[in-house]
Structure 1
Amino acid sequence: MPYIAVTALSHVGLIREHNEDSLVVGPWTLCGTVTENPQTLLFPLGTPLVVAVADGLGGQPGGEVASALVARQLASLGPSLDGEEAVRDALDVCNQAVYSAARGRPELVTMGTTIAGTLVLADSLLTFNVGDSKVFDAAQDGLRQVSVDDSPPLAPGQRTTSAVTQTLGGSSVFMGVTAHVTVSALSTGDRYLVCTDGLTDPVPDDALDGLLRVYDDGRAAFELWKAAIEAGGPDNITLAMVRIGE
C-alpha cells in the first residue's frame, strides 16, 4: 500500500539561545523545542497531509509565538485542504491569525514568520511558501528548489541574505501575502526536503544534493543537520524529509 514517510528534526543550532522554528507533520506539531534525534512518521497516501516548517522572524519580538501559531493552524486546517486555492486560503487565514494575535499586545507587535511546506494528496503534491524557508525536489537527477524565495536580489558574489520581502505577519499594520504554490504529479519514490534557512544558509545546495544522493530518511536528516552544525550552526535548523513509498 502506498505511504508517506516523513522524517523531521528541529535544533537550536550553536549560536542562538532559543529555537524560534516550528514544524507541522499532519496533526503533529513541534514548536520552539529541540529533537534529540530525527523522528520518522508514516502516513497512508490518500488523506491530505501537510508537512511544513515555520521560521519566526529574528530580531523582532515573538518569532516563536508566530511560528507556533501558524504551525498549529496548518495542523488544524490540513485535513480539509484539497488543492491550490485551499492552500492559498489557508495561508491567508494564518497571516490574519498572526496579526490578530499581536493586536493590542505591544510585546508582540511586528511578530512574524516564514512558512514553507508540502501538501501531499492522493495523486499530486503541492509545494507552498511565503518568505525564504525552502522546499526542494530531491530527484534522482539532482536537487531542485521548487519554492520561491521572497528575498531582494542578491549582490554579485552574495549567496544568501537574511532580508525577506514578505512574511506571515511581520508588520505593525496588516499586509496581505501572495503565496507561492506549485502543483506536481506524484510518483512512488519522490522525495522532498522542507527546511528553514538554518540549513540552507550555511550549507550550499551542491552539498545538500551530495548528501541526498547517498542517504535517505533518518540518516539523511541526521547528515543534513550535521552539515549545518559543522558549518557553524549559526541559526535554528528545522527540516523534514518527505518520501513517497509503496
Structure 2
Amino acid sequence: MTSERTGALAGTRDHDIAEYALRLGDDALILCQRLCAWVTNAPTVEEDLALSNIALDLLGHARALLTLSGRRDGTDRSDDDLAYRRTEREFRNALLSELPNGDFAVTIARQLAYTHSTSLLYAELAASADEELASFAARAAKEAEYHRLHAAQWTVRLGRGTEESRRRMQAGLEHVWPYTAELFEADALTARLDAAGTACAPARLRAAWEGEVAEVLAEAGLTVPAPSWQATGGRAGVHTEAFAPLLAEFQSVFRQYPGGVW
C-alpha cells in the first residue's frame, strides 16, 4: 500500500473518531447543562449534591471527548471552542439529552435511559482499538456505573413510594421513551467504526439495555412503555424546540464577553 493511500486511510479513521467523540461529548455536555438546573432545586439537599456531582462527571466526560474530537479532526479546536463557538445545527447530541427536566420523575426517567446506555457503551469502548477512546472509556465507565445505580435506585423509590410518585414516574417514562431509540441508531459512521473494532455498533447494545431497564422497572412495579413513535435527528443537527433556549443560555456569557478570561 502506498504512503498516500495509508495516509488517506488514517485521515478517514481520525475523522470518523472525531465525529464519534463529538456525538458522545455533546450528549454529556447538554445533559450536564440540564442537570445543573436542579442545583438548589432538587427535592433534598442530599439529592442536590448527588445531581451536582453527576453533572460534574458529565462535564469531565464532555471536556475529554470534545478535546479528543478537536485534535483528531485536524482543526485543533479546544473543548471551549466546540462548546461555545458552534451553532445549534452543529451540535450532534441525541435528542434525549436535551429534553426539558420536567418534574423530578421525568429527570429520573431520562437518567435511567441515558445512564444504562452509557454504562454499557463505555464498557465496550474500553476495549476499543483506538487507545484514546479506550483510555477515556475505562475511566468514564466507573462514573457511569454510579450514575446508573443512582437512576435505578430513584426509579424504584418513586415506583414503590406513594400512589402519586408511582403515577409521576410512569408518566415520566412514557414521556421520554420515544427518545430512547435514537441512542441505538446505526449509520455509516458507526458501521465503519464497528468494522474497525473502534466502537460497538449501537444496535448490539439495545437488547442488553432493554433487559437491564426492564429489570429495574419490574422491581419498581412499573411498566415498560409500549412502542410508539421514535424521535430522531439529533445526530444530524436537527433538534427540538427546547434546544435553542438551552444553548443560548449556555453560551450567553462567552458570547457577551468573547475572549474574556477569569
- TM score, norm. by length of structure 2: 0.32
Q: Which protein is richer in helix relative to its size?
A: 2
Q: Which protein is richer in strand relative to its size?
A: 1
- TM score, norm. by length of structure 1: 0.33
Report which of the two structures shows the higher radius of gyration computed on alpha carbons.
2
Higher relative CO (Cα under 8 Å, sequence separation at least 6) belongs to 1
